Amino acid sequence: MSDTLRVRWLGRTDYDDALELQHRLHEGTGSWLLLLEHPHTYTMGVRAKREHVLVDPADVGARLVWTDRGGDVTYHGPGQLVAYPIVDVPVEPDSTPRYVHRLEQVLIETLAEFQLAAFALDGYPGVWVDAAAPRKIAAIGVKLTRGRSLHGIALNVTTDLGMFGHIVPCGIPDKPVTSMAAEGVRVSVEDVARVFARRFAVTFGLEARSAGVDWPVAQPASSESATSPVERRLQRAGVSLGEAVPFHARKPAWVRPRVRHGSEVLELKRLVGQLSLVTVCEEAGCPNLSECWKDGTATFMINGERCTRACTFCLVDTSHPLPLDPGEPDRVAAAVAALDLEFAVVTAVARDDLADGGAEAFARTIRAIKLARPTTRVEVLIPDFKGSAAALDTVLEAGPDVLNHNLETVLRLQRAVRPSAHYARSLAVLSRAQRAGFVTKSGLMVGLGESFDELREAMGDLAAAGVSILTVGQYLRPTQWHAPVARYWHPEEFDMIRDYATELGFRFVEASPLARSSYHAKRGSDAAQVLAERA
């Protein structure tokens, strides 16, 4: 029986995020194929010569990155298919040339399906066209470590070939570079990615299971028209709007929480108001507010009430943000101490307007809580800080007990549901935090148009990224301007989700219709800690 190849079309992905994800998957097991485009980036292999970069990359809007693959300098950018296979390769004396030859063959077969004849040129790794006047159309740079592969190929589809004029491509000064478009083949990177994935799976004897951004298996046949940007994005991603739940339709009983504001709830509400604090419980319209506040648990939202992003599921205000309040961390700490909380959750709006994305405010709040009540454990639910490793380090250095960052939805629906975020970036944030020794946590919503198989793949990706705690809950539409509910998942389906996630190795899984990121947060942290001590 053939092994499974998990194919992921990630779209435009920062080089650092892709590299982190590669290394994480390389440390694990299984076969993966990451397909993507990079923003303008020049990468230097282990044998690269700095003089082969002819300009300051910043002057042409590019980054320069030294990396651990073989080869000299090359260019990555929009319109270029980059493929990173992470697969097992037999350890033999000639492992690397054998593997490179197989990649060349996959590229040649892929180009042949678009009626473009290509070949390998002795002494020059990569793939070429036109034997009479060879032009390089695809570069290969790989690394094999402990019998597993890293890095891969870059195939020019509609690439701006002018960007190669700023370097000596692959250290070869006398042979030009070309693209499929320059050779008269007009096709999208996504279409080439599909063919490459299929040819790779066949060549390596693997059974492909694919997922991708805006990459539906089949576009639904429907006549309904999208009336908003949200609906247009969902329709592009393959969601049938005609089957969505009408906004005013009555919800099933299992997603209608009982709201009982007893004395504990009213006291916490009074204290939050008195200290001029914000809770995500109120701002996001959480259905568990009554239950959590009754237990003396609340999720404090820092860095203001206005978010710089406009995720299609969230009720938080997206107007222009105000300056940070320097006294906010101390007031959150005062509330935690007054409530005598053993476990506190701190989240924030996204602040892309700030140089550090609000990371320092997270760090100050963690430290203030630890100072006010040293025994309190702190969970932080952070944004992605636009992928800044330095911003993430700022938060981690403050010593949170749990680092939570939500993936939110399956890969296909990412661009439709959270257009300012990125699937690979979120996985990279979680991977970096776990690699630094922290307990990591993430959450998913269902009911946006995903399938069970897609949900399984997303949970598998989170497990591969080292996540310990998982929450899965039903999406509830805040207003008619937000993403529609595709369907309500039944409680029995949440039981199936919990069972599958547990099999994947998560230390704690909260899967229920009303589960949210911070629901039973202390319970999840306790369970993860106990299982870690037993391991």
| 76 is known to lie in a ligand binding site | yes
Known binder of ligand: residue 307?
yes
Residue 214 annotated in active site: no
Cα separations (Å) of 64 from 16, 42, 495? 11, 5, 48
- Residue 497 marked as a ligand binder: no
Q: Measured between alpha carbons, how far is 480 from 469 in angstroms, rounded to an integer? A: 32
425 annotated ligand binder: no
466 is in an annotated binding site: no
Instruction: Give DSSP secondary structure letters for 321-387.
Output: PPPP-TTHHHHHHHHHHHHT-SEEEEEE---TTSTTTTHHHHHHHHHHHHHHSTT-EEEEE---GGG
| 12 annotated to a ligand binding site | no
Measure the CA–CA gap between 16 and 37, rounded to whole angstroms: 13
Residue type, 161: L
- 106 marked ligand binding residue: no
518 is in an annotated binding site: yes
153 is in an annotated binding site: yes
SS (H, E, C) 55-95: CCHHHHCCEEEECCCCCCEEEECCCEEEEEEECECCCCCCH
* Cα–Cα distance for residue pair 37/460, rounded to 1 Å: 23
Strands 80-86, 148-156: pairing is antiparallel
CA distances from 360 to 309, 356, 367, 393, 443 (A): 19, 7, 11, 10, 24
Q: Is 120 annotated as a binding residue?
A: no
Q: Does the annotation flag 148 for ligand binding?
A: no
Q: Is 360 in contact with 368 (CB distance < 8 Å)?
A: no
Is 355 part of any known ligand binding site? no
403 CB burial (10 A radius; 0-12, 13-18, 19+): buried
Contacts of 466 (CB under 8 A, 6+ apart): 24, 430, 431, 434, 435, 440
Q: Is 468 annotated as a binding residue?
A: no
Residue 176 DSSP label:
-
151: left (phi over 0), alpha (psi -120 to 50) or beta: left
Is 467:437 a contact under the CB 8 Å cutoff? Answer: no
302 is in an annotated binding site: no
User: Contact, 386 vs 454, CB < 8 A?
Assistant: no
The reply to whether 172 sits in an annotated binding site is no
The residue annotated as part of the active site, out of 48, 53, 170, 368, is: 170
Residue 311's CB is within 10 A of a number of other CB atoms, namely 20
Rounded-to-integer distance, Cα 354 and Cα 357, Å: 5
Q: Read out DSSP for 471-499?
A: EEEE---SSTTSPPP--PPPHHHHHHHHH
Q: Which residues pair with 379 in a beta bridge?
A: 345, 402
For residue 433, say whether it is annotated as part of any ligand binding site.
Answer: no
Report the C-alpha gap between 341 and 264 in whole angstroms: 13
User: Any idea which residues carry the catalytic annotation?
Assistant: 170
Q: Which residues are annotated as a binding site?
A: 69-76, 139-141, 152-154, 281, 286, 292, 307, 311, 314, 518
Q: Which residues are annotated as a binding site for [4Fe-4S] cluster?
A: 281, 286, 292, 307, 311, 314, 518
Q: Which residues are annotated as a binding site for substrate?
A: 69-76, 139-141, 152-154
